[in-house]
Structure 1
């Protein structure tokens, strides 16, 4: 039933600030940019990361922003967890969950962006196996 992550939508009351912050973090501008919603395509599979303008949250299916982070943490694959944490902190994020090992080949952390959203960062051996397999469907060994 679940075939893969399609789109993750973050909420920001400072919509313009969030677009600037994520453009700086990701190194690309949103490919879709409207007053109510902006969306970036990122990563190996061009996953969609959206920013929902807090002014429109109730009308567009979002939930109102709160003054503290919470809810689901979506982890994004990173090549270097420590460097990813440092980069987000340089841009004004704060540590939510410090770096830790989830199991052999899986390390992760999460930060809170300047707009109150939790951003998960993970180095995931399984992700690398799937990526290395390409279209053959046969997992390649982890390096």
Structure 2
């Protein structure tokens, strides 16, 4: 039934500020913006090895009744170094949700609240790496 991560949607009162913050974090610009003219209500990035979609949605369109509170789910994005990723997020203005914790051999998680109130997780996950094709010297 579930075939893979399609889109992670985060919400922000200021989509432009959120777009700029995530562009700095990710090192890429949003590739999709709606509307095209005027202030954006939605922007989208392609992220990582599988080019998953990370969308920033104007909080006015949040499908829940308490847009000022983070939900219970955390989407974890694989990183090669959880401590370094966690520290970088904090340096960009995120705040601690859950400090790095080893969950077992080959599994480390951490999470932050981004400056817009969303929970963002980072994780070292050996299973993620096992499903990737082997890297060659030219894949950097």
TM-score, scaled to structure 2: 0.87
Contact 2:59/2:67 (<8 A) preserved: no
Contact 2:7/2:54 (<8 A) preserved: yes
The 2-side partners of 1:86 and 1:16 are apart by 24
The 1-side partners of 2:82 and 2:4 are apart by 22
Aligned twin of 2:111: 110
The 1-side partners of 2:134 and 2:12 are apart by 37
Structure 1 11/65 Cα, relative in aligned 2: closer, same or farther at 3 Å? Answer: farther
Structure 1 65/33 Cα, relative in aligned 2: closer, same or farther at 3 Å? Answer: farther
RMSD: 1.6
Q: 4+ runs of 1 displaced by more than 4 Å?
A: none
The 1-side partners of 2:50 and 2:29 are apart by 17
- 5+ long unaligned stretches in structure 1: 135-143
Per-residue deviation, residues 19-70 of structure 1 (Å, max 9, x unmatched) = 0100000000100012221000010000000000113x15xxx335533333
- 5+ long unaligned stretches in structure 2: 35-39, 136-140
